[in-house]
Structures are given as C-alpha cells and as structure tokens.
Amino acid sequence: MTTVAPARRVQAEYPFEIHEDVPPSTQDTDMSTHEEMEADEEAEGEQPEDADDQQSNYSESFEEEVVDGNIQQDMEKLANTYPGFRHRYRLIKRIGEGTFSTVYKAEDLQYDRYDNSWDLDKENEKWSPPPLKTYASHSSMTTDATQSMEQARRRKPKYVAIKKIYVTSSPTRILNELELLHDLRNCPSVCPLITAFRSTDQVVAILPYFRHMDFREYFRKMTVPDMAIYLRSLFTALSFVHARHILHRDIKPTNFLYDPESRRGVLVDFGLAEREGADSKPCSCHDDPVARKMKLRAALHSNLSPHNGYPKQDTRPSRRANRAGTRGFRAPEVLFKCTQQTTKIDIWSVGVILLTILSRRFPFFNSADDVEAMIEIATIFGQKRMRAAGQLHGCMFETTIPTIGSVGFSLERIILWSTCRSDTGETLSGDEKLAVEFLNRCMELDPHRRISADEALQHEFLQMGVDEPAPLAEAGDDDEMDILKV
C-alpha cells in the first residue's frame, strides 16, 4: 500500500508529496488508464449529467442500515485491496456514487493515533483518550488491531468518508484533486483531506465524515435568513479557495454538504478544480473595452461576421476551453468557451443555487447541452444582454428563437412566476427583494462585474441572521466531525 499523503495527518509544515510506505511491487506503478474525458473536446471534463446526476445523493436517515449485497461485495473488495485496511477502518455503508468516485462511510478505528487538529469537535468531548503506549513500528498486526478496536470501543466512534476514485480517472486528475485539497487544509468550510492510499491503480482519499441532508429535502422550506446562513457558509469556503487562486469549477448542491440542523456546511469534491491561469490563453474579456470594440468591429466587417444559419464550410478556427462542470451550473463565459476563466465562474454557480432556492425549483436549468444552456440563459436575460456577454469573449450570439425576447425578464419576475405568485398580484417580501438584489450580483453575465466571494460576505443580504446564535448540534446518535468555525 502506498500512502499518498503525509503519514501524520494534516501536517501544515510539510508540502504535499507522494511517498512509499513499502517498496512498490511490479504492478504498483502503472496508473495510466485511459483518459476518459480529456481526449474529446466536446466531452472535455464534462460530467454525465442527466438531471438525476445533480440529485444523486443519499438521505441520511438510518445509521447502520442493511447494506445491499452488491455494495457489501464492493466494500469487501475495497477492504481487501489495502493490507491493513481492516485495522484502520470499518466500512459501514455506501453514501454517495458520483461520476468519478464511490464514497463510503466508515468508522476510523485508529483516530487516536493521529494529529486531529482539524476536528474541532474533539475539543468539546468530555472523555479524553488515555496516553498511547509507544510500540515498535513492526509490532504484530494483531496487537495493533486489538489496540485500535479497544480504543475505538472506549470513545464515541469517529467516522470518515472514504472516496474510492474510479481507476479510469487519469492519474493527473487524481493527483490534482489531492494536491489542491492538501493546499486547502485549514480553510474553514472546506472538507480537509486526512490522508490517501494507493494500491496499484486504485486510489482512495480519506476525509472526515460530515453529516448532511439531501438538498432536495430542505431547500423548499428555507426562509430568507436560512438562505443567507447557507450562503454565508458556502461563500466563506469560496473566499478561502479563491484567495488561493483556485477555481472549484463544480459548485452545486451535492458538492456543498449542509446540515440544516447545525447550519453548517462544507465544500467537497475538488475533482475538477484547477489553479487560476493554469490552462489559460488570452481572451478579449481581459482587454480594455476600447481595444475589444475595435477587434469586434474588424471581425464584423470581415466575412467572419454571422449570417443566418450555419456556414456549410466553417473556416473559423475551433476554440478550445475548459468546460468542465455540471450542466445547469456553468457560467456564461464557460458556455462561450472563454479561454481565460476566473474564480467568478464559481460565483455564477452559487447564483444558480440561490435562484433554485428562491424559485423552489430543482433543477432550475435543465439543458441537454451547452447550446440549450445558452438558450435557457438567453430566455431570462434577453438577446441584447446575451449578445453583449458573447462579445466580451469574441463570440457572436444570434438567434431567431421566438421565445427569446430582446430584453428578457427580471429575476424578480421569474421568481414570482415559478412560485405561482404572478397571477395573484403578490409581490416579493422585503427580505426576498434583498436576496434578489444579491442574486443579480451573482448572476451578472459579465464576470468582471459579478460580485466576488469577499464582496459577497460583506453584502447586506449575507449579514442577515448573523447575530442569531448558532443552534447547538444535537448530541444524538450520530457522530459528525465538527470541522468548521463558521
């Protein structure tokens, strides 16, 4: 087994590195399985996104529920993949199945052996573990296991989420996710990486288990202050992530694990995240407006200007840009294939979450592809603004679809419609109006005008409910690790 992270957990002073616990076996090195997403431009980084995908999650109602036979088999297989796994973790159930991984809940049997500085919950526990006996590193596994079991039995169980990354994921992508998580350790509201293991081409990441509820179960019941509290937690995470010039790229409800009871959330899934500028080429959206206008004018007067319909032989050079993310949550600049995307793409996705909550509709956008996604956005924002948004990135946006009007609709109107209030003449409440004002700032089509995470945290809307005392997390049957300060 290879440990793909520091042996002592969460060691701020060491840079992230891969090191071997045991000499690699001959099978141990080849991880170059097929690059499932990166080869094809159309599919680049795209998640297979039927609407269910945005919703695939679990509801956490039963603790040690009966596990389906096939899942049991998969868990057995996983536990057998790593020597010593059973001494460290007791797999309980499958809690998530995503595009790139399957996630299991497990009990951490050796919790007491490690530096758990990320686990704020431990401070609150009355019971403190007895000092550990030191023992030789080659002590027998049986003694190790007995000791771990004994300790685990004597304290409240501690749980971890074990993310089994599919072997078809590219090694670069896996390393990228682990490295970014390592860089983001100590960020409030970001789920930290405890450690990671590799055996041949199978990598698992170990994360603190965070209790949360399926978004679909609570979003319709949220009051406006609830929305502000939810978003404050999410923006706190983003503020730290963005300060490190990292784009998450896949902000959506299933990647922000939220517990409405304790009103805390953590951002997970950095599988598509990237460093700002890592893969960028200049885009005209970063030019000054005068230079951009001149470029556009030149393009309009050349034969590259748009005509009705498709050119039979399109001689324009194809454009490549990172479009990774989830359908329905992609920012307009991602759809326009901007080659110089910034952290603002995440803000748009948060806007989509807020629009979903305010409109009580999930999923709010439900397009089959990027063209449909543009049509959905254009229907709301209108042709004029959509055209201007495209021009920022050197794209022409033209459509003859009759439902896309010239000026579109206000978000306020959309929300009144979708909550069936437009016929009754009802208007938005004062709180809702403030939320919509904030929403408009998140869903600016121009990324430069869109609010940043830091600015969002200062916005009046996110100040709502700030003085309310946080409810005490129930000391119930569960066990979540309290890994946040907000």
Ligand X SMILES: Nc1ncnc2c1ncn2[C@@H]1O[C@H](COP(=O)(O)OP(=O)(O)OP(=O)(O)O)[C@@H](O)[C@H]1O
- Contacting positions for Mg ion (CB under 5 A): 98, 255, 269
Pick 254 or 391: Cβ nearer ligand X:
254
CB 435 within 8 A of CB 358: yes
Counting every residue written for the chain, the total comes to 486
Distance, CA of 88 to CA of 9 (rounded, Å): 14
| Structural tokens at position 89 | 């973790």
Please list every residue from 78 through 97 that binds ligand X, using CB under 6 A.
95-96
Q: How far is the CB of 101 from Mg ion (least distance, A)?
A: 8
| Angle, vertex CA 136, rays to CA 134 and CA 142, nearest 5 | 95
Distance, CA of 88 to CA of 94 (rounded, Å): 17
- Partner from ligand X, Mg ion, none binding residue 16, C-beta < 5-8 Å depending on class: none
- Contact flags string 35-64 toward ligand X, x per CB under 6 A: ------------x--------xx-------
Distance, CA of 5 to CA of 134 (rounded, Å): 23
Q: How far is the CB of 236 from Mg ion (least distance, A)?
A: 19
CB 361 within 8 A of CB 400: no
- Contact flags string 182-201 toward ligand X, x per CB under 6 A: ---------x----------
Other CB atoms within a 10 A radius of the CB of residue 125 amount to: 13
Q: How far is the CB of 311 from ligand X (least distance, A)?
A: 36
Q: How far is the CB of 255 from Mg ion (least distance, A)?
A: 4
DSSP 271-307: TT-EETTTT----GGGS-HHHHHHHHHHHHHSTTS--
| Structural tokens at position 22 | 């045991």
* List 144, 250, 269, 346, catalytic entry: 250
- Partner from Mg ion, ligand X, none binding residue 230, C-beta < 5-8 Å depending on class: none
List C-alpha distances in Å: 409 to 95, 404, 406, 416, 467.
Answer: 40, 10, 10, 11, 35
Choose which of 98, 325, 328, 408 interacts with ligand X (CB under 6 A): 98
Q: Is 103 among the residues that bind ligand X (CB under 6 A)? A: yes
- Partner from Mg ion, ligand X, none binding residue 209, C-beta < 5-8 Å depending on class: ligand X
| 370 catalytically annotated | no
- Contact flags string 207-246 toward ligand X, x per CB under 6 A: xxxx------------------------------------
Q: How far is the CB of 422 from ligand X (least distance, A)?
A: 34
- Contact flags string 290-309 toward ligand X, x per CB under 6 A: --------------------
Element (H, E) at 171: helix 171-183
Distance, CA of 320 to CA of 161 (rounded, Å): 35
Pick 98 or 332: Cβ nearer Mg ion:
98
Q: Which residues bind ligand X (CB under 6 A)?
A: 47, 56-57, 95-96, 98-101, 103, 161, 163, 191, 207-210, 254-255, 257, 268-269, 271
Which residues are tagged catalytic? 250
